[in-house]
Amino acid sequence: MTIRKFANYMPSIASSVYIDDMAFVSGQTTIGEESSVWPMAVIRGDVNFIKIGKRSNIQDGAVLHVTHANPESTFSTGSPLIIGDNVTVGHNATLHACTIGNNCLIGMGSVILDKAIIEDNVMIAAGSLVPPKKVLASGYLYLGNPIKQTRPLNDDEIAFLGYSAKHYVDLAKETKNN
């Protein structure tokens, strides 16, 4: 694994976090208890901060980045990336300077752009695109490019969000012990 300082910032990683040997984490990044970062994932907290909550998993090939402050830009204050607790970020997803609530699933290959807000208990289908500043309301399945609200999540799907997070906590523990 590569854990790298950027400027004066060293990532803050809870002791129970699993980071694969082939993952990259840098800068102003905080990763909460029992979270996991899998092979080829890149978490670059260089020009703003990244906060990943507890029991969240960043799967293979995911890219997490932020936006810097620029007074000549529409994003003049910059934007951090904030991920809540019990979030599953699927393989090859890209999250850029957005906010993800608790108990969410971000499908494989999805792209979530600057200042988008994903509320709690949201499932995003694989390959979806969330445009900048879009807000996804809690309790729904979303899909498409650009993304659209499809239908409310049923009780089994909401339960699956917690199951997915717990599965990756268990998988990380098993991987650490091998």
**pLDDT by position in tens, the chain (length 178):** 699 999 999 999 999 999 999 999 999 999 999 999 999 999 999 999 999 999 999 999 999 999 987 777 665 678 999 999 999 999 999 999 999 999 999 999 999 999 999 999 999 999 999 999 999 999 999 999 999 999 999 999 999 999 999 999 999 999 988 8
pLDDT for position 161: 97
Residue whose pair of structure tokens reads 């599965």 in the numeric block = 167
Q: Which domains does the chain have, with CATH numbers?
A: 2-177 (2.160.10.10)
pLDDT for position 76: 65
pTM: 0.95
pLDDT for position 12: 98
Residue 144's alpha-carbon distances to 30, 83, 112, 135, in angstroms, are 30, 21, 12, 15
Closest alpha carbon to 167 in 36, 53, 42? 36
Alpha-carbon Rg for the chain, nearest whole angstrom, is: 15
